Amino acid sequence: MSPTAQSAGTGTRVDVRKTYKLYIGGKFPRSESGRSYEVVDGRGRFLANAAQGSRKDARDAVVAARGAFAGWAGATAYNRGQVLYRVAEVMEGRRSQFVDEVRASEGVAERRAETIVSQAIDRWVWYAGWTDKLAQILGGLNPVAGPYFDISAPEPTGVVAVLAPQRSSLLGLVSVLAPVICSGNTAVVLTSELRPLPAITLSEALATSDVPGGVINLITGRTAEVAPWLASHRDVNAIDLTGAADAEGLKWGDLELAAAENLKRVVRPAGEGADAVEPDWSRTPDLSRITPFLETKTVWHPKGR
């Protein structure tokens, strides 16, 4: 953020100190708990206030995501691709804001931040392109020993909780979020605890694009406080624990245990136990982040003579 700016000729201008809110169901509510926390850059300088989401905010977000699921999963794959591509367009329009925030949050040089933002937008476009191609690659006509057509097709699993990566605040976030929603799932995202600003700006981009309210819900706050409630939530169908690596005061094994209660699909962080690490997000992605959040529907249809 810029230091106190001089306005034209009339002395010092008062800082506009931002206090951001959550993004739930297409709206920007304050945390139910009324709390917020200070976000600082790598050197401890104040950047903004972010809402400190609570378990009840997570609960509301799951309700919103469940409500949006039927419409999003029921939209045609082609339509979902268009909607997601539009998000990339809006992100491109906010490029300089993303660059500033990635610089401040991750403490990287401007040129590096530019590269990260470009990769994040390209990553979004990459996943947007997959929406109407998944069924051809992951589905198929199965040979069976009988007079039937036997057809398998991938379908979204439902509401997915996503713990966003703690370090890579934009590229990492896009790399875990886009694969979840491109197939028709809806998502509740716990953003990076210490670096939430790019996620907040992404929520503003989402609100001004065509993504229906509730498809993506972003909660800022303490990962260790809210994540267990999402892991144990019976109305959440899958959980991506990527962001549990490096999260303060959190053992991802406990989350996996809680998630087992209703047989959630679980994506573990890379690495073992306390040594879990974030993957290298700059590498070219594949389908490995899409497939864990799919169910396979198989249809048997009698062959005519």
Partner 1 sequence: MSTPTAAVPSVDATARARDLLGVSRLSNAALTSWLHALPGVDQVGCEARAAGLGTRSIKTTAKAWGIDLAISMIDLTTLEGADTAGKVRGLCAKAIHPDPTLPDTPRPAAVCVYGDMVATAKDALGQSGVKVASVATAFPSGRALMPVKLADTRDAVSAGADEIDMVIDRGAFLSGDYLTVFREIAEVAEACVRKDGSRARLKVIMETGELVTYDNVRRAAWLSMLAGGDFIKTSTGKVSPAATLPVTLVMLEAVRDWRDLTGEMVGVKPAGGIRTSKDALKFLVTVSEIAGDDWLDPHWFRFGASSLLNDLILQRQRMAIGAYSGADYVTDDSPSLY
Contacts to partner 1 by CB under 8 A: 59, 62, 66, 229, 232-236, 258, 261-262
Which residue, 122 or 235, is less far from partner 1 as judged by CB?
235
| CA-angle at 128, arms to 123 and 133, nearest 5° | 120
DSSP state, 107? T
How far is 99 from 169, CA to CA, in rounded Å? 11
DSSP state, 27? B
Amino acid at 38: E
Name the helix (H) or strand (E) containing 239: strand 238-240
Name the helix (H) or strand (E) containing 87: helix 77-93
Buried b (16+ CB within 10 A) or exposed e, 25-41: bbebeebbeeebbebeb
Which residue, 61 or 128, is less far from partner 1 as judged by CB?
61
Minimum distance from residue 262 beta carbon to partner 1 (Å): 8
Which residue, 150 or 155, is less far from partner 1 as judged by CB?
155
Which residue, 96 or 262, is less far from partner 1 as judged by CB?
262
Minimum distance from residue 188 beta carbon to partner 1 (Å): 12
Which residue, 104 or 230, is less far from partner 1 as judged by CB?
230
Amino acid at 34: G
Residue among 58, 72, 63, 54 at smallest CA distance from 231: 58
Minimum distance from residue 85 beta carbon to partner 1 (Å): 32
Which residue, 15 or 235, is less far from partner 1 as judged by CB?
235
Minimum distance from residue 234 beta carbon to partner 1 (Å): 4
How far is 253 from 154, CA to CA, in rounded Å? 28
Minimum distance from residue 235 beta carbon to partner 1 (Å): 3
Answer for the pair 259, 231: CB distance below 8 angstroms, yes or no. Answer: yes
Minimum distance from residue 129 beta carbon to partner 1 (Å): 33
